[in-house]
A and B are shown apart, each in its own frame.
Chain A
């Protein structure tokens, strides 16, 4: 009987199956590698770079690197934590992330990952972009101030919902999330809060309307345990038994 192939992650033996990436194999083994644009239900995107690991000494994204036998992978080392902190800091200053007043605070993946990598201050100069809130939809609100361009909603709407509601417009620093209609308003689309796209945002960009702060402080998803133990935000809509963690 042949042994299941494996690689080592921070000295731990991680078995994997064909087709798995370093990220999926690690998660299956119960080892957390911080990530934002990765979601196991979607093809890896490799855009946020938060899951950077060192593979045989070379820095690569864990979510896009295929697992291979014999690899030596490092994740929890200061060099990488420093890089991740820098990435998180850039994400925070590029948008308007006001955690103290945000209804997603305490159940926000961006905030939780920032805490996990030890980011306590933004360090860089804030861009303070002006991004109006789109509240044209009767049941949902888009707060573009909090978008980190992970494109999970773009992928979910296109690949799962078949509605293609979201898109990214522009390039480089000009890139921004838009609603894929002539008016650019969510209310003009067939978007529904039961859509997959409504459930995947790792920040507070896509929110249910007329609600917020319903879970008391102390009982929110990441209030008691870090994201490495709790995992990503619940993805199921409430109408299908999921729980909203605001």
Chain B
């Protein structure tokens, strides 16, 4: 772990806040403490939000939960919907879903993986690839992409739209549908719906391959940058199918250490609490999960696309598998630790999602009549799923009347908490240390966080949007020597001279 987590004498340091973090889901901020020589002394990622879901669903009927908790997020609500549904399946004693129910849920999930990965890569992250770091902030966004690369922007919009349509057909609505019910689903597909979804699918697969070329080109242009930027060696956690295949909907827990050795495999995720613990730190609202056997110092891990691609033995669709094999050569027999390759892994999964959707659409089970199974009621249910951003845990306990007594959610972004902090500390140390801070330099911190595609809204309810303030403080006296502030609208002000500049140029 980096030693930049807590500075020895913070009172004498200059505090720089990147707030709000841009082009991520939800609200977060990064604070840096620097001394008068611009040396970074502390770097922390904060989630300035409060999540009340675990509390306010207490006392609610269990069958409501999959529909309620998906409101945690507007980008990948299907993940919460399905993780909760898997937990609720256990509550109603549905040991195995009908083929129709499982395949409809998988279809919904791959649809959401496709749209979520598309929105992150094209709308949020692509400016980091397509433009230089010192590109003006007013241009370094999806608007700039639309202006300079209209075809890429259009592909992003249509890939996302396609994924949303898959969700609409399976869940009733593009966002916050009701497809999963206890023990199954409430609808199958009609032939007409299937044919509608098949119409554009080959084009989506083609674009999925195209975007991987784009990522690979970016890597080949500057492999050194990819290799070093925000790169940290870590453990990896994900679900994996019994045969080791990548599986986003269901599987056993698998963890590898930084050398790629298995820490555990095919662990029943209902036993997650035996292998994963959460640490609380006084400066953050978000917990810090770690692998119990390794302890908090060594046991933190990464989840999400990079973890899944590193962890699986193969991808069960041919085009994505070909891409995985090419990708894994970067690690030379070990996991790929380069943080920026999260984007690459994410696009391999996007391609996999398009292929998986096609397989499912051609499967006659999706038209089936048998949609729900029930069995003996149970008091506890644990659902785990590979959400676009990583492993997502939903754990519920109900009372004898069927009301929620206790809930524990470990959202994907929480799993990456320590890793994101480590990455920003690496960037701060490597790229910012000793330099006079400028907006493009601060953007590097955001690029590091963005690679993880954190979903900060899964921790919901922002407390406010503070501007970015950079203050130069005299070490001994604590006097503010200079101060630069960035408002939420992008205006930069020098708070000492009251001079204003529009935009971030």
Binary contact track A23-34/B, C-beta < 8 Å → 1, others 0: 000000000000
B172 x A101 contact (CB < 8 A) = no
Q: How far is the CA of A181 from the CA of B152 in the complex (A)?
A: 66
Instruction: Mark interface residues in B131-150 (1 if CB within 8 Å of A CB, else 0).
Output: 00000000000000000000
Q: A135-B403, A216-B179, A217-B178 are in contact. Are A210 and B187 (CB under 8 A)?
A: no
Query: DSSP class of B's interface residues: helix, strand, loop or mixed?
Result: loop
Which residues between 186 and 211 of chain A lie within 8 Å of chain B, taking CB atoms? 207, 209-211
Q: Mark A163-197, 1 if CB is under 8 A from B, else 0.
A: 00000000000000000000000000000000000
Contact A213-B403, Cβ < 8 Å, known A132-B59, A133-B60, A218-B172:
no
A126 to B67, CA, bound (A): 22
Q: How far is the CB of A53 from chain B (nearest CB, A)?
A: 36
How far is A214 from B172 in the complex, measured between Cα atoms in Å?
12
In the complex, the answer to whether A214 meets B92 with C-beta atoms within 8 Å is no
A215 at the interface (CB under 8 A from B): yes
Bound-state CA distance A218–B403 (Å) is 28
Task: Report the Cα distance A22→B13, complex, angstroms.
Answer: 77
Query: Residue A150 at the B interface, CB < 8 A?
Result: no
Report yes or no: A210 in contact with B177, Cβ–Cβ below 8 A: no
Cβ of A136 < 8 Å from any Cβ of B?
Answer: yes
Q: Are A213 and B61 in contact (CB under 8 A)?
A: no
State the CA gap A237–B408 with chains docked (Å).
Answer: 37
Contact check, A133 vs B59: say whether CB atoms are below 8 A apart: yes
Rounded to whole angstroms, the CA-CA distance of A216 and B188 in the bound complex is: 10
- Chain B residues, CB < 8 A from A143: 61
Q: A212 at interface (Cβ–Cβ under 8 A)?
A: yes
| A209: nearest chain-B partner, CB-CB | B402
Q: Report whether A214 and B401 are in contact in the complex, using a CB–CB cutoff of 8 Å.
A: no
Known: A101-B68, A135-B403, A136-B401. A212 touches B63 (CB 8 A): yes
Q: Cβ of A161 < 8 Å from any Cβ of B?
A: no
Closest to B188 in A: A216
Q: Does A100 count as interface, using CB distance less than 8 angstroms?
A: yes
A124-166, CB under 8 A of B: which get 1 and which 0? 0000000011011000010100000000000000000000000
Are A135 and B181 CB-contacts (below 8 A) given A101-B67, A103-B64, A213-B67? no
CB of B71 within 8 A of CB of A210, answer no
Q: Of all chain A residues, which has the CB nearest B176?
A: A100
CB of A216 within 8 A of CB of B92, answer no
For the complex, is B173 an interface residue (Cβ under 8 Å from A)?
A: yes
Q: Whole-angstrom distance between the alpha carbons of A207 and B187 in the complex?
A: 21
1/0 contact trace for A71-105 toward B, CB 8 Å?
Answer: 00000000000000000000000000000110100
Closest B-chain residue to A138, C-beta based? B401
Q: Cα distance A136–B401 when bound, in Å? A: 6
Most buried by B among A132, A136, A212, A218: A212
Partner of B186, one of A133, A209, A213: A213
Residue of A nearest to B170 (CB): A216
| Alpha-carbon gap, A216 to B187, bound state (A) | 6
Interface size of A by Cβ–Cβ distance < 8 Å?
A: 20
A213 partner, pick from B59, B92, B178, B402, beta carbons under 8 A? B178
Please give the distance in Å from B256's CB to the nearest CB on chain A.
38
Smallest CB gap from A223: residue in B: B172
Highest count of chain B CB atoms <10 Å: which of A103, A213, A215, A218: A213
In contact, B179 and A211 (Cβ under 8 angstroms): no
B20 contacts the other chain (CB 8 A): no
A142 to B483, CA, bound (A): 58
Q: CB-nearest residue of chain A relative to B66?
A: A213
The answer to the question of B182 belonging to the interface, with a C-beta cut-off of 8 Å to chain A, is yes
State which of B67, B71, B402 has its C-beta within 8 Å of the C-beta of A103: B67
Chain A interface main SS type: loop
B401–A135 touching, CB < 8 Å: yes
Write the chain B residue with the least CB distance to A215. Answer: B186
In the bound complex, CA of A101 to CA of B67 (Å): 6
Q: How near does chain A come to B127, taking the closest CB pair, in angstroms?
A: 33
Q: Mark B189-209, 1 if CB is under 8 A from A, else 0.
A: 000000000000000000000
Near A by CB (< 8 A), chain B positions 84-123 give 92
Give A133 to B398 CA distance when docked, in angstroms. 13
Q: How far is the CA of A171 from the CA of B176 in the complex (A)?
A: 38
Please determine whether A216 and B172 come into contact, CB atoms closer than 8 angstroms.
yes
Our pick among B59, B61, B171, B173 for the contact of A212 (Cβ within 8 Å) is B61
| A residues near B64, Cβ cutoff 8 Å | 101, 103, 212
Q: Min CB distance, B397 to chain A, in Å?
A: 15
A135 with B402: CB separation less than 8 A: yes
* Residues of chain B contacted by A216 (CB below 8 angstroms): 172, 178-179, 186-187
A50 to B175, CA, bound (A): 32
Given contact pairs A210-B92, A215-B186, A216-B187, A133 touches B403 in the complex (Cβ within 8 A): yes
A141 vs B399: C-alpha distance when bound (angstroms) = 14
What is the bound-complex CA distance between A194 and B176, given in angstroms? Answer: 32
Residue in A closest to B183 when the chains form the complex, CB atoms: A210
CB nearest to B67 among chain A residues: A101
A210 touches which one: B63, B178, B179 (CB < 8 A)? B63
Flag if B59 contacts A217 (CB, 8 Å): no
CB distance from B377 to the nearest CB of A (A): 8
How close is B82's CB to chain A, nearest CB, in angstroms?
Answer: 14
Nearest chain-B residue to A218 (Cβ)? B172
A218 CB contacts on chain B under 8 angstroms: 172
Q: Chain B residues near A209: list those with CB within 8 A.
A: 61, 402
In the complex, A57 Cα to B187 Cα: how many Å? 50
Q: In B145-178, which residues have CB < 8 Å from any A CB?
A: 171-173, 176-178
Please judge, given known A-B contacts A101-B67, A132-B59, whether A210 and B186 are in contact too, CB under 8 Å: no
Nearest residue in B to A187 (C-beta to C-beta)?
A: B401
Binding site for B on A (CB under 8 A): 100-101, 103, 132-133, 135-136, 141, 143, 207, 209-218
Can you name 8 A-B residue pairings with CB atoms under 8 Å?
A133-B403, A209-B402, A210-B402, A211-B182, A213-B67, A213-B178, A213-B181, A217-B173
The 5 closest A-B CB pairs, nearest first, are A217-B172, A135-B401, A216-B187, A213-B178, A101-B68
A212-B181, A213-B63, A215-B186 known, 11 other contacts, Cβ within 8 Å: A101-B64, A133-B59, A135-B403, A209-B402, A211-B63, A212-B61, A213-B186, A216-B179, A216-B186, A217-B178, A218-B172
